[in-house]
Amino acid sequence: MKRAIFPGSFDPITLGHYDIISRSVSLFDEVIVAIGINAEKKYMFSLEERMTFIEDAFKHEPKIKVTSYNGLTVDYCKEVNAEFILRGLRNPADFEFEKAIAHTNRDLAPIETVFLLTAASTSYISSSIVRDVIRNNGDYTKLVPNSVKLK
């Protein structure tokens, strides 16, 4: 069974994440979208909201599971028996950042990081831009799946 985890904050999930997750389904038997819990970070959406947004967006896709975890991503991979970490790449800055994390993870555990290049149409989208648009009452709906709703 080829199982990957796609770790991130997903605050909130964007069409960029959606694209990467959708395309990963043809590569793996199961993809766990895993929300990392960082006690030091302030989030716009609660953990429950972030999980629900992702679950609702992938209701139709049985290969995709949504969970949360504390601690190191490689430890969580061992816990759920995942041999792969999935990450998305948008630009050279992502590459440099992701390279350091992937090398560190490889030092820590025999886990392969698999990178998918973002679709051109979603390459400019980030959760932080979406949060800025929301804070300033802009139309965020073109940047996120329909499941992302404000209270």
Binding site for ligand ADP (CB under 6 A): 8-10, 14, 16-17, 20, 87-88, 90, 94, 118, 122-123, 125-127
3-state secondary structure of 5: strand
Alpha-carbon torsion angle 15, 18, 24, 26, nearest 10:
-100
Least distance from ligand ADP to the Cβ atom of residue 8, Å: 3
Q: CA triplet 106, 34, 134: central angle to 5 degrees?
A: 120
What are the tokens at 12? 């909130």
Catalytic residue among 26, 41, 42, 59: 41
- Known active-site residue 17: yes
- Known active-site residue 127: yes
Least distance from ligand ADP to the Cβ atom of residue 142, Å: 13
Q: In which order are the strands placed within the sheet that holds 3-8?
A: 64-69, 30-36, 3-8, 84-89, 112-117
Nearer to ligand ADP, 8 or 145 (CB): 8
Nearer to ligand ADP, 123 or 147 (CB): 123
Nearer to ligand ADP, 30 or 113 (CB): 113
Least distance from ligand ADP to the Cβ atom of residue 137, Å: 22
- Known active-site residue 50: no
Amino acid at 46: S
Q: Is the separation of the CB atoms in 35 and 50 below 8 Å?
A: yes
Rounded Cα distance, 10 and 13, in Å: 4
- Known active-site residue 151: no
Catalytic residue among 24, 50, 87, 90: 90
Nearer to ligand ADP, 1 or 93 (CB): 93
Rounded Cα distance, 104 and 131, in Å: 29
> Where in the sequence numbering do the catalytic residues fall?
17, 41, 90, 127
